[in-house]
Structure 1
Amino acid sequence: MYDVAVIGAGPAGATAAEDLARSGHSVAMLDREGRIKPCGGAVPPRLIADFDIPDRLLVARITTARMISPTGRKVDIAIEDGFVGMVDRGDFDAYLRDRAAAAGAARFSGTFLRLTRREDGLDVTFRDKRTGAERVLPARLVIGADGARSAVARAEVPGGDRIPYVVAYHEIIAAPDRADAEAGDYDATRCDVVYDGRISPDFYGWVFPHGAQASIGMGSMVRGVDLKRATADLRAASGLAGCTTLRREGAPIPLKPLERWDNGRDVVLAGDAAGVVAPSSGEGIYYAMVGGRVAATAVAACLASGRARDLQRARRLFMREHKTVFRVLASMQNAYYRSDDRRERFVSLCHDRDVQRLTFEAYMNKKLVRARPMAHLRIGLKNLAHLTGLVGPQYL
């Protein structure tokens, strides 16, 4: 009988498993393994510091972000006094799983099938990856960290079957050589974010360097969008059509945290299963790892007290720190992603120095900076001018 079974061992599940194992709990960690989630791979300095990520996992260091509008306008934003790290999810996730196992988590590879209850806890039934046989892990509590279409969430948590998501697709390519004239101005230290309805009608496309490789992709909530065609168009527009394709990946990315993360009894969610991906940006690695940490905190409290209501701490702790940022980003997405005219105005707004400084301070440190009230006021007024059309086309 394990204290907790963690279902899914991406950044959220592996973080939860490691934290609980280090605090002396018996942990079973179940993961399908072998599958790499489509992801730009950006990790801010706060993640690197908070979760002790070694330099060797950083395949690139980004010092500039480029915003590209529907008309081709380019706004380069320098990342002052630091960088954004880039990781390859295959190596990064494997490292986190290995670290959790080294801390004492028992590791199992297979596909989750179902939960059944017993008098003293739950049975987690899974299909063993190596043998194909059904196996059972008995546990007192369960953390569901099995992704955006979480089977645990659908079965156990109210609303877990109705989470909105963007379908993301990307292609990992061999990065172009510096001498490759077709690659245009590809820069291994710059991330490109493309706001163009021809690439994505409601989200964005990206070109993110990964050292010797690069991730090129897009996402959309609109049914019928040809993700592969849009990515091919983005590669052509970026001068990267001729680069060797190493792998292709697609998956849903949730865009709104669930109203409940626990079932009021013996299950709590973490990461994509709980919907903790930032609106507007789609950033998920940092928030997944925070979600895993607060889920571990809630589970530890429940195991100590025997009170099922302590599982509610996971969502409460997360929202206490990040709710305002999520609301601001959701408002930004709703305001600016609905048309190319709005996207053009959004990229124009990114020219503003106040916007650049506060945006990256918030991204790098995961907090809305309150030390510059006049800057906030100026940004609010500029936002209003752009959204109401008071700023004419000649100023965009």
Structure 2
Amino acid sequence: MTMFDVVVIGGGPSGATAAEDLARSGQKVALLDREGRIKPCGGAVPPRLIQDFAIPDSQIVARINTARMISPTQRQVDIPIENGYVGMVDREHFDAFLRDRAEAAGATRYTGTFLRIERDEECTRVLYREKATGETQILQTRLIIGADGARSSVAKAEVPGGDKIPYVIAYHEIIEAPEATAQYDPLRCDVIYDGKISPDFYGWVFPHGKSASVGMGTGIDGVDLKKATAELRVASGLEHCRTIRREGAPIPLRPMDRWDNGRDVVLAGDAAGVVAPSSGEGIYYAVVGGRVAATAAAACLATGRVRDLGLARKLFMREHKQVFRVLGAMQNAYYRSDERRERFVSLCHDIDVQRLTFEAYMNKRLVKARPLAHLKIGIKNLAHLTRLVSETRV
């Protein structure tokens, strides 16, 4: 039986990126994926992802130049995206492209459902149910990367806290996009902060070229996601568009405190909880999570030190911890009521808020170049949270 250096469980953006990086570095890699499952996702990718991970133009189905924020009272704030664009991908094709690229780099593909991990003195074994035959198969390996999603079976079985990741449930419908209308712009993303759509998160209308993603997320039990999405389609003038597919899945709310088991497993992507608070953005952080997991695995294989698996979380948090902290504070402050959401959209009128927000989004780091702008935003934010200003003022 073949002995792999690493078995990557999960073939989404995180797992496929980890498999590709390891294969390119000369490791013997297996990529195990169920296939046939498309994660519900708005599909937005920033320029930094496109550049850092060599995403070709063929995968970008739309180039967004404006974001529209919509408040509970239907206040609309259009934020232009200066000096670039937000790319949109369709996960059905984007994930397949990344898996194919990993295979082309040298990773060996397997299609099936992960069952469990077994060990003896000789090696670690990954057992899975092969999709084609339904039979249980075994992959022998030195290390494992668990990239199997927000409800990761690998995390639950192997990593402390892996069964307690907080999450929201996201649901969306991919529809056949209409021509541009008074309500729908194929170059604009709409983000709806309205408790009638989502009492604790937001709804969205994201163009994908010939199609569009319309959906919402919530962490509150009892919310009818399909009903809320139907109401959002009506409010957006999209109720008569043909529905192509419907998808739902959990989205984690914060990174786990630990990503490895101190032995032979390290987590990546949603399995490690790396989705940005407030925005729910996950694709960029997934591929970065895959890369740092690959880096940690390669280090462990080279040195034989299992503590090197901890590099994955250290490297990720070193660059992104502050952004996650700021976004988490913003979600806690503004998503709790329609009054707060109204004030948040009002705050987005500010030109400094707009510029700094999108500079941070495009480049994936907090901007420190304009301290006076940060001070102004901080004062205005405090004024809104303490109700020193009316939400009707700009």
- Which TM class, normalised by the smaller chain length? over 0.9
Report the alpha carbon displacement of residue 177 of structure 1 after superposing the two structures with TM. Answer: 2.6
User: Paired residue for 1:219, among 211, 217, 220?
Assistant: 217
- 1:265 maps onto 2:263 in alignment: yes
Deviations 1:29-61 (A, max 9, x none): 000001100000000000000000000100000
Report the alpha carbon displacement of residue 185 of structure 1 after superposing the two structures with TM. Answer: 2.3
- 1:198 maps onto 2:200 in alignment: no
Aligned twin of 2:11? 9
- 1:303 maps onto 2:301 in alignment: yes
- 1:367 maps onto 2:365 in alignment: yes
Q: Which shifted more, 114-123 or 194-203?
A: 114-123
Q: CA RMSD in A?
A: 0.7
Asked whether the 8 Å contact 1:114–1:125 carries over to 2, the reply is yes
Asked whether the 8 Å contact 2:342–2:391 carries over to 1, the reply is no
Report the alpha carbon displacement of residue 350 of structure 1 after superposing the two structures with TM. Answer: 0.2
Return the letter of the residue paired with 1:15: T
SS at match of 2:255: coil
Return the letter of the residue paired with 1:56: S
Structure-2 separation of matches of 1:128 and 1:51? 30
User: Paired residue for 1:59, among 58, 61, 78?
Assistant: 61
Report the alpha carbon displacement of residue 266 of structure 1 after superposing the two structures with TM. Answer: 0.4
Aligned twin of 1:187? 185
Asked whether the 8 Å contact 1:121–1:141 carries over to 2, the reply is no
Return the letter of the residue paired with 2:277: P
Q: How does 1:1-396 map to 2 (within 5 A)?
A: 1-178=3-180, 184-395=182-393
Deviations 1:243-266 (A, max 9, x none): 000000000000100000000010
Structure 1 residues not aligned, in runs of 5+ = none
Q: 1:246 to 1:394 in 2, by over 3 A?
A: closer
SS at match of 1:185: coil
Structure-1 separation of matches of 2:392 and 2:30? 60
Structure 1 stretches of 4+ moved >6 Å: none
Structure-2 separation of matches of 1:138 and 1:391? 62
Structure-2 separation of matches of 1:368 and 1:189? 26
SS at match of 2:329: helix
Return the letter of the residue paired with 1:243: C
Return the letter of the residue paired with 2:258: R
SS at match of 1:152: helix
SS at match of 1:101: helix
Give the count of matched residue pairs.
Answer: 392
Return the letter of the residue paired with 1:230: A
SS at match of 1:219: strand
Structure 2 residues not aligned, in runs of 5+ = none
SS at match of 1:395: coil
Asked whether the 8 Å contact 1:45–1:365 carries over to 2, the reply is yes
Structure-2 separation of matches of 1:36 and 1:197? 27
Report the alpha carbon displacement of residue 184 of structure 1 after superposing the two structures with TM. Answer: 3.5
Return the letter of the residue paired with 1:374: L
Deviations 1:339-368 (A, max 9, x none): 000000000000000100000000000010
Report the alpha carbon displacement of residue 118 of structure 1 after superposing the two structures with TM. Answer: 2.0
Structure-1 separation of matches of 2:391 and 2:32? 54
SS at match of 2:328: helix
Report the alpha carbon displacement of residue 395 of structure 1 after superposing the two structures with TM. Answer: 1.4
- TM-score (norm: length of structure 1): 0.98
Report the alpha carbon displacement of residue 392 of structure 1 after superposing the two structures with TM. Answer: 1.9
Deviations 1:168-204 (A, max 9, x none): 00000000134xxxx5420000000000000000000
Report the alpha carbon displacement of residue 121 of structure 1 after superposing the two structures with TM. Answer: 2.3
SS at match of 1:360: helix
